[in-house]
Chain A
Amino acid sequence: MRRGFRVRTLGALMLAAALALPAIAIPSAQADPTIHTADQPLADPAQEARARALMREIRCVVCQSQSIDESDADIAANFRNIVREQIAAGRSDQEILDYLTARYGDFVLFDPPFRATTLILWVGPFALLALGLVVAMAILRRQRNAKTAAGGLAPPDLSERERRRLQELLTEPDSGAGKSA
């Protein structure tokens, strides 16, 4: 009984796998009208790892928010093979990125460089933060000034005449209290 169950389970699994096969094969079949670009991984695992790392930095030009490492688009496969060729040819990462941006612009980079056109992107947040700090400091300072003025801790600015008058009051031996002045 138990063995029968196992055999049946195995059979069911195999049937499921057989049914799933066409579903796995479909993507390549869909790409059939074009010449499907196959990935050609580099033989050297270290070089391939470097290529893969670089691919994650490069945006697929037809799928917006995917890197060429993630994308199934044919053009992304094309890009991957171009990156691999460049690595095999001994180019540095930066040289490869320059090679791509010369043709497709900064759009292909997930990490856009600092340029006049990307100034707002890089400086904007810090400029806003600085502006916020300036405003906050101005408000704080004013509040503190208002508080000290109200608490009477700091003497108010006196004109020359008032200071002389104050001096007189303080030095006069028997004028009543300073308060009434």
Chain B
Amino acid sequence: MPEEEAVSTPIRRLLYSLPILLLAAFGWLAWRGLAPDRDPSALPSAMVGKPVPDFTLPPLDASNEALSPKDFAGKVTVINFFASWCLPCKAEHPLLFQLQKDMNLPVYGIAFMDQPSDATGYIKENGDPYAKIGVDQNGRVAFNFGVQGVPETFILDRQGIIRYRLAEPLDPDRITSEIAPLVKSLQQ
């Protein structure tokens, strides 16, 4: 009998600690799920790592040619979905100038489910950081990008692969901590 107990002790110890381990695992999950800085509506993008979807959009400025992935060829590019009816877009708008001027990035705008006249008014009012703007009136191009809403910002590498997606307004911290290092590595 004593030998038998000695054999089963490690197993028994494991069995006894199981409830504690399971509780700890559950606690960890709950802690992660309820963390105040976690945004439960944030979705991982299914598009990061994939090539930019093909599209052709009418330009907002009639003197331009249509906007298509041909515009992005061979360079690191920013694509920004915006709309005149979107207040957070207006809030991030000055930062697009920062990307365009300070970081020397071509920024392409896609007006999402917006009237062209409204989008033109919005650009007149807030300035134009975009190399070119396409008008996605029915939101189908945005759908092909997996866009949930505006603003959304994508970064493409030279091969036209989507490397980054931000499904919320740009902010200065994110530009210095995430976007600038990524762009630097993509441009090398």
**Chains A and B come from one and the same complex:** yes
Interface window among B60-68, B73-81, B101-109, B141-149: B141-149
| B47 and A33 within 8 A (CB) | no
B18 interface residue (CB < 8 Å to A): yes
Shortest beta-carbon distance, A123 to chain B, in Å? 14
CB contacts under 8 Å to B, within A24-78, are 33-35, 37, 61-62, 64, 74-75, 78
Q: Which of A35, A74, A75 makes the CB contact (< 8 A) with B115?
A: A35
Contacts of A101 in B (CB 8 A): 46
Summarize A's interface: helix, strand, loop or mixed: helix
B120 interface residue (CB < 8 Å to A): no
CA distance A136 to B18 in the complex (A): 14
| B40 and A75 within 8 A (CB) | no
| A105 and B148 within 8 A (CB) | no
CA distance A34 to B140 in the complex (A): 15
| A75 and B139 within 8 A (CB) | yes
Measured as residues with beta carbon below 8 angstroms from the partner, the interface class of chain A is 20 to 34
CB contacts under 8 Å to B, within A120-163, are 128, 131, 135, 138
| B138 and A78 within 8 A (CB) | yes
| B18 and A75 within 8 A (CB) | no
CB contacts under 8 Å to A, within B103-145, are 113-115, 118, 137-140, 143-145
B15's nearest neighbour on chain A, judged by CB, is: A135
B83 interface residue (CB < 8 Å to A): yes
Summarize B's interface: helix, strand, loop or mixed: loop
B159 interface residue (CB < 8 Å to A): no
| A74 and B113 within 8 A (CB) | yes
Q: Mark A4-36, 1 if CB is under 8 A from B, else 0.
A: 000000000000000000000000000001110
| B113 and A103 within 8 A (CB) | no
Measured as residues with beta carbon below 8 angstroms from the partner, the interface class of chain B is 20 to 34
CA distance A20 to B15 in the complex (A): 65
| A62 and B41 within 8 A (CB) | yes
B98 interface residue (CB < 8 Å to A): no
| A104 and B43 within 8 A (CB) | yes
| A102 and B148 within 8 A (CB) | no
Contacts of B85 in A (CB 8 A): 33-34
B17 interface residue (CB < 8 Å to A): no
CA distance A128 to B15 in the complex (A): 13
A169 interface residue (CB < 8 Å to B): no
| A103 and B41 within 8 A (CB) | no
| B43 and A61 within 8 A (CB) | yes
Contacts of B15 in A (CB 8 A): 135, 138
Shortest beta-carbon distance, A181 to chain B, in Å? 22
CA distance A33 to B83 in the complex (A): 10
B2 interface residue (CB < 8 Å to A): no
CA distance A34 to B111 in the complex (A): 11
| A103 and B138 within 8 A (CB) | no
A96 interface residue (CB < 8 Å to B): no
Binding site for A on B (CB under 8 A): 15, 18, 22, 40-41, 43-47, 83-85, 113-115, 118, 137-140, 143-146, 148-149
Pull 13 A–B residue pairs with CB atoms less than 8 Å apart, ordered by A. Answer: A37-B139, A62-B41, A62-B149, A74-B139, A75-B139, A78-B138, A78-B143, A103-B47, A104-B46, A105-B44, A107-B43, A107-B44, A135-B18
What are the 4 tightest A-B residue pairs by CB atom distance, in nearest-first order? A33-B85, A105-B46, A103-B146, A61-B148
